[in-house]
């Protein structure tokens, strides 16, 4: 079974600073998708950013960007200019090769300090 590792159970960052959340995964596929989801205390799952594995260019969405290292099977999320509203659980989720099934990591709880 595919495994997804988020090695940081908890992280904290000062408001307006930058933080990077790590994610590694295993796969034997060459074409797949990767996602970061955010779950605030409201428990709603919100899509933050998406990356297609065949694209070398790292995805960016406003203050959120990824560092995708395909050979290393690493997919980290960088949050710039952190805001209080960024406080949440963050889940890394690659698709399981050739299917639309997403496998989720155990999550990183991000705290943003004012």
Partner 1 sequence: DTAVSQTPKYLVTQMGNDKSIKCEQNLGHDTMYWYKQDSKKFLKIMFSYNNKELIINETVPNRFSPKSPDKAHLNLHINSLELGDSAVYFCASSQGKDRLDGYTFGSGTRLTVV
Residues found near partner 1 in the complex (CB under 8 A): 33, 35, 39, 42-45, 47, 50, 89, 91, 95, 98-104, 106-107
Minimum gap (Å) between residue 37 Cβ and partner 1: 8
Six-digit token pair at 48? 């933050």
Pseudo-torsion of CA 43, 47, 48, 53, nearest 10°? 140
Closer residue to partner 1 in complex, CB, 76/95 = 95
Query: Contact, 92 vs 8, CB < 8 A?
Result: no
Closer residue to partner 1 in complex, CB, 17/55 = 55
Minimum gap (Å) between residue 105 Cβ and partner 1: 9
Minimum gap (Å) between residue 112 Cβ and partner 1: 18
Cα 21 from Cα 82, distance rounded (Å): 13
Closer residue to partner 1 in complex, CB, 68/91 = 91
Minimum gap (Å) between residue 33 Cβ and partner 1: 5
Closer residue to partner 1 in complex, CB, 43/85 = 43
DSSP-assigned states of every residue in 52-96 = ETT--SPPEETTEEEEEETTTTEEEEEE-S--GGG-EEEEEEEBP
């Amino acid at each position: 079974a595919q495994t997804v590792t988020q090695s940081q159970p908890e992280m904290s960052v000062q408001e307006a600073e930058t933080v990077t959340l790590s994610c590694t995964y295993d796969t034997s596929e060459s074409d797949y998708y990767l996602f970061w989801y955010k779950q605030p205390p409201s428990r709603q799952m919100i899509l933050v950013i998406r990356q297609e594995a065949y694209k070398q260019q790292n995805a960016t969405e406003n203050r959120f960007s990824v560092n995708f290292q395909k050979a290393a099977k690493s997919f980290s999320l960088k949050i710039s200019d952190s805001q209080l509203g960024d406080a949440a659980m963050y889940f890394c989720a690659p698709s399981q090769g050739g299917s639309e099934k997403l496998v989720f990591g155990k999550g990183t709880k991000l705290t943003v300090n004012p």
